Amino acid sequence: MEREQAILQQLSDGEFHSGEELAVKEGISRAAIWKIIQSLLEQGIEIHAVRGRGYRLAEPLEFLDQATIVASLDAGIDRPIASIEVHQHIDSTNTYLMSRAKCGLPGPAVCLAEGQSAGRGRQGRYWVSPYGANLYLSLLWRFSIEAEALSGLSLVTGVAVTRALQTLGVRGNGLKWPNDVLWRQRKLGGILLEFGGESSGPCYVVAGIGLNVAMPKTLDRAIDQPWVDMRTNLGRGPISRNRLAARLISEIVSAFGAFEKAGFGVFREEWNRLDLALGRRIELRLPNRSVSGVGRGVDDTGALLIETTAGIERYLGGEISLRLDV
Ligand code: BTN
């Protein structure tokens, strides 16, 4: 791992480096360099190998850096961040923060990783998390109110993520209830909220955000749903993941603070503007039945409103999934 890290560091400028140059700098053989390059390719890292010139990354790589992220946070950030950790490899930033939260880690705390070996999505799905390509971020927030009062928080997270994306120039994306971040019906990002603590007392939430920044095309088959990345939306790269991380943290902290004070109601209008199902025929799949109707946005608690033949019905979170009729 450390060797791979060192080679990536050398290639991070996006320029060609010969096998010999890399071997000399690392003090290992060219064959060993070749093996490391193969392992990086297997992890989905896009490296071009050209005879006579050497190796180069498809795009320069900006490593995640704690100090750069801290320096780029909003000056007037509502609440000081207790800790920001950047990991190279981790199983899952959510799993990690949930276990630290159980041991009393103060909030707000942030964990980012260059790559996840067991990234988790909603409904037990696997979140494909290749090294250095995308953003994998989790934020721990402690609430003095009980978990029941937090319905709507997952929608608030979607609004905060959208605000962050928009300040970076992303356009035309919307939200699919409760919080899928989509562009042209493809997944640009996902949000996984996990709760812990007392059900009738102080509790905490870990909000995990995965954003596709520059997903290697070689991983297309590993992803079980239509996807898109920021590079495609913006029509350019490279994208500063440090800046993106700082924007996300600033927006989430500001939105969670506002939610704590005023509840979901103050986000409702903005969420409804981003709602991809508004006024469209939708099908909501529940564990043992499905409901068809027209999407009518959400109410003040974040519950989904569907106009069916029986009138307006409201549905809360859980294992509900929503399909858009195209
Ligand atoms: C979804 O299925 O839409 C939610 C995906 C959430 C993925 C993120 S990546 C950072 C954090 N760590 C995880 O293991 N999952 C979340």
Furthest C-alpha separation in the chain: 74
Q: How far is the centre of ligand 1, averaged over its atoms, from the C-alpha of 35 (Å)?
A: 31
Asked if 4 contacts 130 with a C-beta cutoff of 8 angstroms, the reply is no
Of residues 145, 154, 106, the one with CA closest to residue 252? 154
Q: What is the pTM of this model?
A: 0.93
CA 49 to chain centre: 30
Q: 3-class DSSP state for residue 115? A: strand
What is residue 198's predicted lDDT score, i.e. its pLDDT?
79
Compute how many other C-beta atoms are within 10 angstroms of the C-beta atom of residue 102. 11
Q: Which two tokens stand for residue 143?
A: 């609430």
- Phi and psi at residue 294, in whole multiples of 5°? -110, 135
Q: Is-contact 299 293, C-beta < 8 A?
A: no
Residue nearest to atom 2 of ligand 1 (CA): 121
Q: Which of 25, 122, 142, 231 is catalytic?
A: 122
At which residue do the structure tokens 């991809």 appear?
Answer: 276
Tell me how many degrees the CA angle 32-117-163 measures, rounded to the nearest 5.
120
Confidence (pLDDT) at 142? 96
Strand partners, 323: 283
Q: What is the pLDDT of residue 324?
A: 52
Tell the residue number behind the tokens 């099908």, with chain if given: 283
Residue 269 C-alpha to ligand 1 middle, in angstroms? Answer: 26
- Cβ of residue 138 lying under 6 Å from some atom of ligand 1: yes
* Pocket test residue of 86, 87, 127, 188 for ligand 1, highest count of atoms within 8 A of CB: 127
Distance separating alpha carbons of residues 191 and 76, to the nearest angstrom? 25
At 259, list the tokens: 């939610």
In the prediction, which pLDDT does 322 show? 60
Q: Give CA 127 to chain center in angstroms.
A: 10
- The tokens for 267 are 């986000």
What pLDDT does 317 receive? 57
- Pairing, β 186-197 against β 281-285: unpaired
Record the tokens describing residue 2, joined without a space: 């450390």
Report the pLDDT value the prediction gives residue 319, as an integer from 0 to 100: 44
Is residue 30 annotated as a catalytic residue, yes or no? no
Q: Which helix (H) or strand (E) holds 10?
A: helix 2-11
Given strand 174-176, what is the order of strands in its sheet?
A: 83-90, 109-116, 135-143, 203-211, 186-197, 180-183, 174-176
Q: Do the beta carbons of residue 164 and residue 248 sit within 8 Å?
A: yes
Contact indicator for 325, 310 with CB cutoff of 8 Å: no
Residue 93 CB–ligand 1 contact under 6 Å? yes
Predicted pLDDT at 5:
86
**319 vs 287: CA distance, rounded Å:** 7
Predicted pLDDT of residue 326: 45
* Residue ranges in the chain modelled with pLDDT below 70: 317-326
| Phi and psi angles of residue 10, each rounded to the nearest 5 degrees, phi first | -70, -35
CA distance 158 to 319: 17
**Res 104: pLDDT:** 94
What are 186's two structure tokens?
């493809």
User: Quick one: pLDDT at residue 275?
Assistant: 95
Tell whether ligand 1 has an atom less than 6 A from the beta carbon of residue 134: no
Distances (CA, A) of 273 to 160, 195, 278: 14, 27, 8
